[in-house]
Amino acid sequence: MLLASKIAGSLVLPLNLSILLGLVALVMARRRRGLLASGFGLLALGILVTASLPVVGNALVSSLEREYPPADPAEAPTADAIVVLGGSLATGAPPRRGPELVDASDRILHAARLFRARKAPLVVPSGGRLPWSVVPRSEAAEMADLLVEWGVPREAILEEGKARTTSENAVETVKALRARGVRRVLLVTSSLHMRRALASFRAEGLDAIPSPCDARVLVPGARVAIDWVPAPEALEKTHAALWELLGLAFYRVTGRA
């Protein structure tokens, strides 16, 4: 079910949608339906080029990030626990000697800084192991190791290693925290992801306070010519923003947010 939902969602994103439309164009051309082939081909190219423009990728990401700009740990309120969501490490599969940092690893560092600022006595890394993962450990366990390395005592960490999606992050974490009487948490995730994450946790009845980090779009400046030149980084931003918007819509329809 998890794999099917991820595949279904990815098929409507720009890159895969362009490939599908391009294949349709080839089929139409083979059947000597030139007008339809041209139409589908141009549509595929138009979607791919538009999604690859920095001006488009930045605008989409910014539309989600501006609501939750990165927070200063020193200015955060106090809470019962700090919850930091997974998706923040690259797998430690061979030939790597362990998990590696990525852009979203700021989440783990931000959680450690909140703890060192004495904003909560407990840190909860939430992230499980996907069915197709070749690494036997949960992401929560790998996140916990980094938290310890960055100054959080092992006894102050509660691992939640079952969740595989944002919705499961909320369900499994709230279940673990309720057993400890925790009612108020600082929720740590990327600014881009915060809207969906916050909605998921609040849907579970938890008083979650956003503490975002990992902004991907800097303060907007003057438009330059390069913003209108397709780039792979821009396509990835467009993909990430649309994934969040689609995910939030799906969660709302299914009552998860």
Nearest to 212 by CA among 66, 87, 61, 101: 66
What does the pLDDT read at residue 220? 61
Return the exposure string of 183-199: e unless at least 16 CB atoms fall within 10 Å of the residue's CB, then b: eebbbbbbbbbbbbbbb
State how far the Cα of 104 lies from the Cα of 138, in Å rounded to an integer.
17
pLDDT digit string (tens) for 119-161? Answer: 999 999 999 987 777 778 999 999 999 999 999 999 999 999 9
Q: pLDDT at position 223, please?
A: 65
Q: Is the pLDDT of residue 109 over 70?
A: yes
> Could you read off the pLDDT of 40-99 as tens digits, one per residue?
999 999 999 999 999 999 999 999 999 999 999 999 999 999 999 999 999 888 888 888
For residues 170 and 194, what is the distance between their CA atoms, to the nearest angstrom? 12
Q: What are phi and psi of 35, to 5 degrees?
A: -65, -45
At residue 128, the 3 state secondary structure works out as coil
pLDDT for 222: 54
Q: Is beta strand 100-101 parallel, antiparallel or unpaired with respect to 89-90?
A: antiparallel
Tokens of 250: 């799906």
Q: Is the pLDDT of residue 34 over 70?
A: yes
Phi and psi angles of residue 175, each rounded to the nearest 5 degrees, phi first: -60, -45
Among candidate residues 240, 221, 198, 188, the one with its CA nearest the CA of residue 63? 240
pTM comes to 0.93
The answer to whether residues 82 and 109 touch, using CB atoms and an 8 Å cutoff, is no
**Cα distance between residue 106 and residue 237, in whole Å:** 17
- What are the Cα distances from residue 81, in Å, to 108, 120, 167? 14, 5, 19
CA distance 208 to 186: 6
Is residue 201 within 8 A of residue 179, CB to CB? The reply is no
Helix, strand, or coil (residue 98):
coil
